[in-house]
Amino acid sequence: MGSVPLAHYLALGSGLFAVGFAALLVRRNALVVFMGVELMLNAANMTFLAFSRAHQTMSGQAAAFFVIAVAAAEAAVGLAIMIALVRNRRTLNVDEVDTLKY
Amino acid sequence: MTEAWLFYPMAIVALGGALGMILARNPVHGAMSLVLSFFGIASVYVLLAAELIAALQIIVYAGAIMVLFVFVIMLLNLNEEDLERPRLTPGTIVGGAAALAFWMISFMIFSDLPEQTMPTELPEGFGQVASLGRLIFGSFILPFESTSVLLLVAMVGAIVVAKARI
C-alpha cells in the first residue's frame, strides 16, 4: 500500500458522478433529483482537484472554489423554485410538473 | 505512506453515502446520507493537498447547503403519501442503465491511462489559504467578481420566487 495513482481519484470522481446521474434519471422526487445535481458538481470538483495535484498547479483549486460558489447560488434558487412549486401545484413529483410540455 | 490507507476507506464512505442518498425513500434520510458522503469527499480533498477547499466543502456543502435542504424539507412538511413509491418503469431502467454505462465506460478509459503516480514534491504553500487567495485575487479576479454578482442575483431571485406576495 503506497501512494494512490491519479486514475483512482478519477474513478472515484466518475463513480460519484454516475450516482448523481442515476439520482437525476431514476428518482422522481424533485428534492432528491436536486441532491443528485449537487453530487455531480462535487464529482467535477474531485476531478479538478486531482488534476491540480497531479500537475502541481493551483488553478484547479481556484476552479473548485468557483464551482462551490455556483453550487451555493444554485441551491438557493432551486429550493426557492421548489417552495413555489409546492405552493402552486401541491406536488414535488417531477413527472407531474409538465405545464411547459403541452 | 498512509495515503492509500486513508483514500480507500474514505472513497467507500463517499460512494456509500451517495448510494444511501439515492436509495433512501425519505428525503431527510437521503440528505443525511449526502452529508456523510460530503464528509468523505472532504477527507479525500485533504489527501489531494487542498486543505482550504476541504474546509470550504464542510462549511458550505455539509453545513450551509444541506441545512438549507433539510430546512426546506421541513418547511414543505411532506406526508407519507407524498413520498414516491419505488417502481420499475422503462424510464427507471433506462436511466439506471445509462448511469451504469457511463461509469463503466469512464472506468475503462481510466484503466487504459498510463500509470501516473502523484508527484511527492509540492510547491511551498500548495493548497493553503494565502497562495489560493493570491491566485483568486490575481489571475482569477474577473471570475471572482462575476461570482459575487451571481450570488447577488441568486439571492434576489430566491426571494422573488419563494415569497408569496412581494
The residue ranges of every structural domain in chain B are: 1-80, 128-166
**Grid coordinates belonging to B98:** 445509462
CA distance B28 to B73: 7
Q: Answer with the residue of higher pLDDT: B115 or B135.
A: B135
Q: Tell me: the pLDDT tens digits for A19-64?
A: 999 999 998 889 999 999 999 999 999 999 999 988 888 899 999 9
Q: Do B102 and A8 touch (CB under 8 A)?
A: no
CATH code given to domain A6-89: 1.10.287.3510
pLDDT, position B79: 75
Average pLDDT over residues A72-92: 90
Candidate from A24, A35, A81 with C-beta closest to B30: A35
List the single best residue of A35, A51, A89 to mutate versus B (max B Cβ within 10 A): A35
pLDDT, position A45: 94
- Which residues does residue B43 pair with via DSSP β-bridges, in sequence order? none
**Grid coordinates belonging to A19:** 450516482
Q: Which CATH class is domain B1-80?
A: mainly alpha
Amino acid at the residue B97: A
Q: Tell me: the pLDDT tens digits for B11-48?
A: 999 999 999 999 988 889 999 999 999 999 999 999 98
Mark which residues 73-92 of A lie under 8 Å from B by CB.
73-77, 79-84, 86-87, 91-92
CA distance B54 to A51: 16
pLDDT grade for A2, boundaries at 50, 70 and 90:
low
Mark which residues 2-21 of A lie under 8 Å from B by CB.
2-12, 14-21
Give the contacts of B34 (CB within 8 A, at least 6 positions apart).
A35, A38, A39, B17, B18, B20, B21, B66
CA distance B19 to B15: 6
Average pLDDT over residues B123-144: 89
Nearest to B129 by CA among A46, A70, A68, A65: A65
Q: Is A26 on the interface with B (CB under 8 A)?
A: yes
Candidate from B5, B11, B123 with C-beta closest to A56: B123
